[in-house]
Chain A
Amino acid sequence: MGTTMTLDKKKSKKITPWLFLAPHLIIFAIFFFIPVIFGIYISFTNWDLFNTPTFIGLDNYKELFFNSDSTFYEQLRIGLKNTFKFVIFSVPFCIAVPLLLASALNTKPKLAKIFQSIFYMPSLFAISAVVIIWKLIFNVNYGPVNNILNTDTPWTGTQPYAWIALVVVTVWWTIGGNMIIYQSALSGISKDFYEAADIDGATAVQKFFKITLPAIKGQILYTVVMTTIAQFNIYGQPLMLTEGGPNNSTRVLLMYIQQNAFGSGQSIAGIASAMAVVLGICIMCVSAIQFKFLKVED
């Protein structure tokens, strides 16, 4: 009897954590793990979403990497190049601007809470709403930007302005998330450090680089990696703001993936999946490199 009860206790101890984990695990499996495995499998097939996928081995990858006459080879090249460009252009600003704003708000100026709300609010908007707002701002004929500058620049239709517009919109839209992370990190730094630095005659810049940054290195690593991953998945802004133009210069890989898989024409899901796998591998590699270089020393 006693032995049975002990066994029951042991069993319930084993099963209880799994039951708590179950909702997450089920959702993770259904919405992430299974689709990823299925997507990788599809990348080795020719599939139009209608008929049975035809297994073609590495043909999709061969075409993407070695067939320079193929449209899809070109798409991967252009799409990846523009995606990397966007990551390089936007990530520094998506880190630096929220960090500066969080540092400023950390000094508890007047109306700090109102400013915090104003900076955070764009993060709550849908990308379509964000783009509509900025399209009006950049409007050639009636936009405030051209009115103030007294020009008729087509901001979203010529380079380098198209990239500038995309980065501005993205930074404005994503300030909130990182800013909140930095604010909570900054509030955790002991004031003793700053007081000691004041006594030693440190300037504000010195305090920022010698105290603030090292103290929140972990949060910076997290936001750099997460922001990079997010920006690799750039889609909505170029789709709606620049429509991939001018002359494909802002057409990112996800736009090609979406068009090939779910465009107006018959689906080319095999090639689209192969492109998605390549993008996934790129994101993993870049994230691994970032971890290596930004790793917090224990």
Chain B
Amino acid sequence: MKVSKLVKLGLLAGASMTFLSACGNSGGSSESNSKEIVFWNPFTGADSANIKNMIDDYNKTNPEFKVKNVSMKEGDMYSKIPTVVNSGKNIPDLNIVHAERIKQYKDNNMLTSFEGLLEDYSEIKAENYVPEAWNLGELDGERYSLPLDIHNWGTYYNKELLAKYAPNALDDNILTFDEIVEAGKLASKDDIRGIALTWVKPNYMATLGQEGGQLSENGIDPTLDTEESKAAIGKWNELYEEGVSTKDGEDPNQLFLSGKLLFLPEGIWLQNIINGAEFDWGLTNAPQLSDDMSQVINWSSSHQFVMFNNEDRSDEKTKGILDFIDWVRTNSLEWAKAGQNPATLDILNNEEYQKMPQSFFINSEEEQNTLKIFDYKYNGYVSEYLESHGFDALFSKVSIEDFTSGLQKEVSDKISKDNTNK
């Protein structure tokens, strides 16, 4: 074989190897001995700039371990996590996950406990965080996560339309279903929608809680085909049947921004979009069954810091991770600018934060108590069903009974495949 031929073949093989190796490590963990904390998070929306700014600010403080931001799509991140943790390679040093995922990860022995690691961080303690966001990180007496925020569901409203159709509805800052129906009927005469039928999961779960129901009584088996469950989904279906809600196929955000919608139940994180409205708007609690403040429930979730098991994570790096989390505790204003409510109570001392619409959910203990995180281990299965079939029930395409019995059956069948309870 001629030398030139050998060179050509060598180049060919080399090129193919190079191509294949390029398909490999992307955004994986840093080397165990590197001075870098690889931080995976699902912030790819409007909040991606805020998390990047926060990390830049932290890195400017010249910490021993700088944070490398790796934001990826939520679905991609949750698909990658089991793969990297199982393989033991490219495990991120620090991760943000949603509150609802933590029990599942813990039961699969994937999480590193913070027990014993917080001794040098006396301010990372329950008293300094919103209780609902802090408490869920403690499972079987051990701490597996630390909270970044508590983001919840509320109701945006058009102040001009409110003054016209329901001037006294929000005197107590509680919007009841009865008030929605009353205002919606008046508004519909002028071709204005009373309320938007939006993301079914938070609407259903909050109302289920208000009805006195729960996703599961024992934490494993679902209790979703109950009278409370039927009443909860039925309450939202009633709004459609009464003709006071948005119709099938309508875009709630578009209607709200064009001044054709009075109440928009949505997440506090939507403010970047709502800010585009050319009218005065306000933010209040999510729709309630009762105007008794002690009965108010607002669906919430939380972004939590977790560390997945990684034998290569050194004690020094773990300390670097906790330094960062402790810094976030007193430097969360940037995260609030994304429309979020930081979980740290330190934020309450910030004047700029106090002017933000979402701050009222954290400002008083009374309001903090309305925030409820539904951290049922199989919340994901419930979500899947609600997202697939919720609007069919809301728009009367299936009966309430069929909807709840289907919900119970599907979630039960999926749970039966899980070996971690056996």
A156 touches B413 (CB 8 A): no
| Among candidates A8, A48, A157, residue contacting B419 with C-beta atoms closer than 8 Å | A48
| Chain A residues with CB under 8 A of B85 | 50
B83 touches A49 (CB 8 A): yes
Kindly state whether residue A225 has any CB partner on chain B within 8 Å: no
Task: Classify the interface of chain B: helix, strand, loop or mixed.
Answer: helix
| Chain A residues with CB under 8 A of B383 | 264-265
Interface residues of B (CB under 8 A from A): 1, 5, 9, 12-13, 15-16, 19-20, 75, 78-79, 82-83, 85-86, 100, 104, 108, 110, 247-251, 254-255, 260, 378-384, 387-389, 391-392, 395, 397-398, 409-410, 413-414, 417-420
Kindly state whether residue A65 has any CB partner on chain B within 8 Å: no
A–B Cβ pairs within 8 angstroms, 21 of them: A8-B1, A9-B1, A22-B13, A22-B16, A30-B20, A49-B83, A71-B409, A142-B254, A157-B395, A158-B248, A245-B397, A246-B392, A247-B398, A248-B388, A251-B388, A259-B388, A264-B381, A264-B387, A265-B378, A265-B414, A268-B417
Kindly state whether residue A155 has any CB partner on chain B within 8 Å: yes
Shortest distance from the beta carbon of B139 to any chain A beta carbon, whole Å: 16
Kindly state whether residue A19 has any CB partner on chain B within 8 Å: yes
Shortest distance from the beta carbon of A14 to any chain B beta carbon, whole Å: 11
Task: Classify the interface of chain A: helix, strand, loop or mixed.
Answer: loop
B82 touches A267 (CB 8 A): yes
Shortest distance from the beta carbon of A130 to any chain B beta carbon, whole Å: 18
Shortest distance from the beta carbon of A134 to any chain B beta carbon, whole Å: 13
Instruction: Name the residue on A nearest B378 (C-beta).
Output: A265
Contact with B along A45-75 (1 / 0, CB 8 A): 0101111001000000000000000111000
Shortest distance from the beta carbon of B250 to any chain A beta carbon, whole Å: 5
Told that A140-B251, A247-B398 touch, could you supply 11 new A-B pairs with CB distance under 8 A? A23-B16, A23-B19, A30-B20, A49-B82, A49-B83, A50-B85, A70-B413, A71-B410, A141-B250, A154-B249, A154-B250
| Chain B residues with CB under 8 A of A259 | 384, 388
Kindly state whether residue A270 has any CB partner on chain B within 8 Å: yes
Q: Which of A19, A158, A243 has the most CB of B within 10 A?
A: A19
Given contacts A46-B417, A267-B82, contact A22 B12 (CB under 8 A): yes
| Among candidates A141, A264, A270, residue contacting B384 with C-beta atoms closer than 8 Å | A264
Kindly state whether residue A106 has any CB partner on chain B within 8 Å: no
Given contacts A70-B413, A262-B75, A262-B79, contact A51 B108 (CB under 8 A): yes
Contact with B along A1-35 (1 / 0, CB 8 A): 00000001100100010011011001100100000
A-B contact count (CB 8 A): 128
| Among candidates B1, B104, B379, residue contacting A12 with C-beta atoms closer than 8 Å | B1
Shortest distance from the beta carbon of A79 to any chain B beta carbon, whole Å: 12
Shortest distance from the beta carbon of B275 to any chain A beta carbon, whole Å: 21
| Chain A residues with CB under 8 A of B251 | 139-141
B75 touches A140 (CB 8 A): no
A16 touches B9 (CB 8 A): yes
Kindly state whether residue A147 has any CB partner on chain B within 8 Å: no
Kindly state whether residue A176 has any CB partner on chain B within 8 Å: no
A245 touches B392 (CB 8 A): yes
| Among candidates B19, B78, B395, B414, residue contacting A268 with C-beta atoms closer than 8 Å | B414
Please measure, in the bound complex, the distance between the C-alpha atom of A141 and the C-alpha atom of B392, giving whole angstroms: 20
| Chain B residues with CB under 8 A of A252 | none
Contact with B along A122-143 (1 / 0, CB 8 A): 0000000000000000111110
A157 touches B380 (CB 8 A): no
Kindly state whether residue A187 has any CB partner on chain B within 8 Å: no
